Structure 1
């Protein structure tokens, strides 16, 4: 009896060890499977980017060859030179930068003030404005293209960078207001009250407390606005002539009488992505902070 009672507890740890080994084995198998799926998905998503780079450095004979080559046998920079020398390329690049920066700057100023009013003050129609901001984002902007064209035509803002900038400002403004509202709501009101007690005015509270603490949110919001305004081409292609468009519209119109010049087109696509990459490198330190700072407030 004594031996039997002593042997029973000794068997339990073995089962726990066996269960632990099985759990570790399953977790490792699951991790390997998840990593494998992630690698395959990453390769699938990165292959078009690789093919753009591959084609940009190929001469025309390799680009149009029946047998594709995954590495250029005779790499060349002629495609990039052809893209720079193409009609309207440099002008459209400058137009895109001007339009994007104007739209993003205007949307941040207007959106920040609107978000501040919604988050910090109580007034009649406040909830209605919030609902309207959400409802506007549900409407496809392409559905408003014809009325927008007619409206801008009446005020002589078609075929102008100012008209496109205002349009892009309106396009990214709802998201800007809604996002910045979350950041401002995350700032404790006690900081405002403490500053007012110390003798600060409303303007000083804005400049010394709210604006610095909302800095990461402004950075994160500007990323979205910059990408959306820089990559848009339907509106500017409809409203403006080729001399007053951006690089996205230039890529669409890069056609010749003999067909598409794939080498210069891919080189132009790489050049088009450079401003976005540079913008990310400049503000990359504040992106993660900005994206997470407003994630817990709505």
Structure 2
């Protein structure tokens, strides 16, 4: 009888703990989602409601004028195009260079291999803002300041440590026996790379590209420092969305929503491969 009572008490405690954890999770989720909701709420409000002293949690007179105003800004479309170009260049270059570096570290034995791994990790520990001025001086000497390739090159440096370290885990998870079997069957090193390693690392490339895309697309400080308004992205455009009377909150929130759309679209296009990619490199390496 005592054991039965102890079991009931244990089950009751576990249920109470589950309810408490779920409640805390829901509260935390609502807390994190509220800013997103308020951005959506403000984006559809007319100017009078936005500036009202009595906040409303739903637009009384929903309007799309804020989106028209944001899209009608002179630098909005160029900023979006600049962001897409810079992000595409940085992510593509990071995947190519990072994949080859990760392949060398994971598959080949050479002098200084462990030191390179430690250096890759150490670079992640350095605040990137501390490198901003030296990078600016280097780009200035190379005449790449105030240019899209210059910013893409800096983003490449920013993304490479994470890319190399992550892809190294994916490649290390591919059994070396597959390489040896393919070479016994007559494949060259290049054919082993194209037919075995690259296809099996595909999910890892997808998962890594998601991180790179988000980092490059949402970056603000570097491009705002290096480039003029004509060569900046949407994040910098959000800063300059000011008027002589102050901040235009409605168009600003509408612009923030439009800015997040490319990330959402990119995520939806590759979502099937994300879960596989995030777990494939976590088993070995």
How many residues align? The count is: 285
Q: How far off is 1:297 after superposition? A: 2.5
Residue equivalent to 1:42: 29
Note the aligned Cα RMSD (angstroms): 0.7
Match of 1:219 among 206, 222, 232: 206
Match of 1:277 in 2: 264
| 2:147 maps to 1:151 | no
Aligned with 2:124 (options 115, 137, 142) = 137
Per the normalisation by structure 2, the TM-score is 0.99
Task: Pick which of 45-54 and 142-151 moved more.
Answer: 142-151
Q: Any idea what SS the aligned residue of 1:74 has? A: coil
Q: Please state how far the C-alpha of 1:18 moved relative to its aligned partner.
A: 1.6
Shift in Å at residue 87 of structure 1?
2.0
Matches within 5 A, 1:52-201: 52-201=39-188
What is the deviation of 1:255? 1.0
Q: State the distance in 1 between where 2:87 and 2:128 align.
A: 17
Runs of at least 5 residues in structure 1 that lack an aligned partner in the other structure: 1-13
The CA deviation string for residues 117-165 of structure 1, in whole angstroms up to 9 with x for no partner, is: 0000011111111111011111111111111111101111011101011
In structure 1, the partner of 2:242 is 255
1:208 maps onto 2:195 in alignment = yes
Tell which structure's C-alpha radius of gyration is larger. Answer: 1
Partner of 2:6: 19
Q: 1:267 matched to which residue of 2?
A: 254
**CA–CA separation in structure 2 for the residues paired with 1:168 and 1:112:** 16
- For residues 95-131 of structure 1, what are the alpha-carbon distances to aligned partners after superposition, in whole Å with 9 as ceiling and x for unaligned? 0000001100000000000000000001111111111
Q: CA deviation at 1:284?
A: 0.5
